[in-house]
């Protein structure tokens, strides 16, 4: 593997080889070493200068200039309060009658997390939406999460509750690669990963907290944790929500590194949006009480840029 410097932009020369070597030889001190060194390089460039994450109004020109072109994340507070799903799907609790009536038979992806003596267990499966709605109405210690449900898997009437936001349709050519819905009771968890396309993440109900890392910094963290576990740290490995990322050693290590230090963070409430640029790493937690719901509009920027802007 080539010796690639991952901290040169902020004046701290930490090579990938040094990072992996530390993980391979330092026993129980490995994780603390990574946290300390990465904190030094990251806070000097990103976290200390950009924390808290900047907020923008729902203005296309400002968004393009301050977010899209420089590929910088930002919060768009209250910019999506008029999204129909916010009033049809949530009241503010989950509107199970509406969803059961218009989409109860749809098969959707679910993630089940249960507590066991050995630690949390996790499995994913598909089931009718009605099963998820029944679970949401009944008290249970297990966590069932409607995770990454593609809009195309839902009946047409429910899909109409997610029209493409004006900011999305006018920022580029208006093309959307994918739209996904997420619903559950906190605490919910999405491990550190990166998306190959820009992502507009909109909170529909409840609260979520997002930790973000710039592309090079996130890859250093991810590759270091994977190397510690004897796994590949290539960028493709983080594009999928594998079960190993949701339980066991990988989840514990990623959670410790990403959430155990100060970081670039966005706290989102209902109606808020978060722009996550292409390649930015992020981990998400549902917090608070009640129900949390979100939607992500992915790959809506197919833009050709000229000297005068986009065309």
Q: Is residue 87 part of a domain?
A: yes
Q: Does the residue 258 lie in any domain? A: no
Q: Is residue 238 part of a domain?
A: no
Q: Is residue 198 situated within a structural domain?
A: yes
Alpha carbons 56 and 274: distance in angstroms, whole number: 10
* Number of domains forming the structure of the chain: 1
Beta strand ranges found along the chain (DSSP E)? 74-76, 107-116, 119-128, 143-150, 178-184, 188-194, 199-205, 207-213, 264-268, 273-276, 281-287, 292-298, 305-306, 309-310
User: pTM higher than 0.85 for the full model?
Assistant: no
Asked if the structure places residue 179 within a domain, the reply is: yes
Residue 8 lies in a domain: no
pLDDT in tens, 242-281: 555 666 677 788 888 888 877 789 999 999 999 999 899 9
Establish if 129 belongs to a structural domain: yes
Q: What is the pLDDT of residue 16?
A: 42
What CATH number corresponds to the domain at position 295? 2.60.120.650
Chain centroid, CA 74 distance in Å: 14
Structural domain includes residue 67: yes
Q: Which domain holds residue 180?
A: 56-220+263-310
Q: Which residue numbers in the chain have pLDDT < 70?
A: 1-52, 119-120, 141, 171-175, 232-248, 299-311
Position 113 scores a pLDDT of 85
């Amino acid at each position: 593997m080539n010796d690639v410097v991952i901290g040169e932009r902020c004046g701290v020369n930490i090579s990938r080889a040094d990072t992996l070597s530390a993980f391979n030889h330092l026993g129980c001190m490995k994780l603390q070493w990574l946290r300390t060194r990465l904190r030094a390089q990251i806070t000097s460039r990103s976290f200390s200068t950009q924390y808290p994450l900047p907020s923008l109004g729902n203005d296309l020109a400002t968004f393009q200039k301050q977010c899209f072109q420089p590929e910088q994340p930002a919060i768009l507070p209250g910019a999506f309060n008029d999204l129909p799903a916010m009033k049809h799907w949530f009241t503010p609790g989950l509107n199970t009658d509406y969803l059961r009536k218009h989409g109860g038979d749809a098969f959707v992806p679910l993630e089940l997390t249960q507590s066991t003596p050995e630690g949390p267990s996790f499995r994913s499966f598909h089931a009718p939406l009605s099963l998820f709605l029944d679970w949401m109405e009944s008290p249970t210690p297990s966590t069932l999460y409607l995770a990454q449900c593609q809009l195309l898997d839902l009946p047409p009437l429910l899909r109409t509750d997610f029209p493409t936001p004006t900011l999305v349709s006018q920022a580029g050519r208006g093309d959307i690669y994918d739209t996904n819905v997420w619903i559950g009771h906190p605490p919910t968890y999405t491990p550190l990963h990166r998306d190959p396309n820009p992502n507009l993440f909109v909170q529909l109900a409840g609260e979520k907290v997002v930790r973000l890392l710039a592309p090079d910094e996130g890859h250093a963290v991810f590759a270091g944790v994977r190397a510690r576990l004897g796994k590949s740290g290539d960028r493709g490995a983080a594009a999928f929500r594998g079960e190993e990322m949701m339980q066991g050693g990988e989840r514990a290590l990623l959670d410790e590194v990403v959430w155990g230090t100060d970081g670039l963070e966005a706290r989102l409430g209902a109606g808020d949006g978060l722009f996550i640029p292409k390649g930015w790493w992020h981990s998400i937690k549902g917090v608070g009480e009640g129900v949390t719901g979100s939607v992500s509009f992915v790959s809506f920027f197919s833009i050709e840029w000229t000297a005068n802007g986009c065309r």
